[in-house]
A and B are shown apart, each in its own frame.
Chain A
Amino acid sequence: MIVRLMGEGQYRVDDSVLEELHELDDRATAAADADDEDTLDQTLEQMFELVKSKGAPLADDEVLPSDALVPPSDLTLEETKELMTDEGFIPDLPS
């Protein structure tokens, strides 16, 4: 899966990391629903960390569309919400 960390670039994330990423995504969605900006920002930072530590940055000559976009933690609550979908930031795995 290709994940774009907005403002920082694209990473290729292995499927084994997806479960952990989905957990964080669920927490982010819950925090956004509860208008809890602090928790939301923290969770977004954790998602950034996870993708950066477990994923591999895309090479400069790999020009590919992303499967998911994660916004930076310094957006406002409203801006972040606007980027969210029913599935949060990470689309559900095709079953």
Chain B
Amino acid sequence: MPGMMNRASTIVKAKINKLLNRAEDPGETLDYSYEKQLELLQNVKRGVADVVTSKKRLEMQTSTLEQSVVKLDGQARQALQAGREDLATEALQRKAVAQEQLQGLDQQVKGLEAQQEKLVASEKQLSARIEGFRSQKEVIKAQYSAAEAQVRIGEAATGIGEQMADTGLAIQRAKDKTEQMQARASAVDELVESGALEDFTSGGETDLDRELRQLATSTKVDDELAKMKAEISAADKPKEIEQ
């Protein structure tokens, strides 16, 4: 049956067969194969860690974008109340861009979560199989003659090779997904850096922020001015009466 899984397991098998032919002691071969399996398991664990890291990064971006959406919405309202429709429009446009990005990120995070679950399941399964291989190899070493052991080792090696190939495929798929996510995350970063989607939450002041602040300041000044005028005229009136 030709296929990528089978090709992979054939390669594993060929490598193991080569080993079997060279080794004089089947026990040694089994121990060596077992070490290689543990190495692969380490790779799977690293694969899981990579997926988790990518997911965290996307989640952080998501919360940044969410804050932007809330802030931009508030700013649009503020601008509209002050009669600045031009500023309100700009804020809403940016909000739309942020929302669009947010939607894409949500889907990606979900996809990555599914990938993570699958990979963790693969890791558990491989780990169980390796443990099975370990006990099987002890039995083979203890109970079989050299000739019989060769046959049994061949079977066990093919079985474990297949499991390794299947897990290898799972890692590959998770890696592809992670790379897609990273490209996406970088695209969002670039968008923020280029100013097309300014990061309003980073503390840096944008033109929109400045104009709105000026608007708020002038309103405040006007308010205070009016208040002072009222106070002064109120203070003057009793004097007039006294006079």
Contacts and interface: CB of A to CB of B under 8 A. Distances in A.
Interface of A: 4, 6-9, 59-66, 68-69, 71, 79, 82-85, 87, 91
Main secondary structure of the interface of B (DSSP, over half): helix
Contact of B1 (A60, A61, A69): A69
A69 B133 contact: no
B170 interface: yes
A83 B159 contact: no
A63 B159 contact: yes
Contacts of B135: 61
A69 B6 contact: yes
B131 A7 contact: no
A69 B155 contact: no
Contacts, number: 59
B42 interface: no
19 contacts: A4-B166, A7-B118, A7-B122, A7-B166, A7-B170, A9-B125, A60-B129, A60-B132, A62-B132, A63-B156, A64-B159, A65-B158, A65-B159, A66-B162, A68-B1, A69-B5, A83-B3, A85-B2, A87-B1
Nearest to B133: A63
Interface string B111-150: 0000000100110010011011101100000000000000
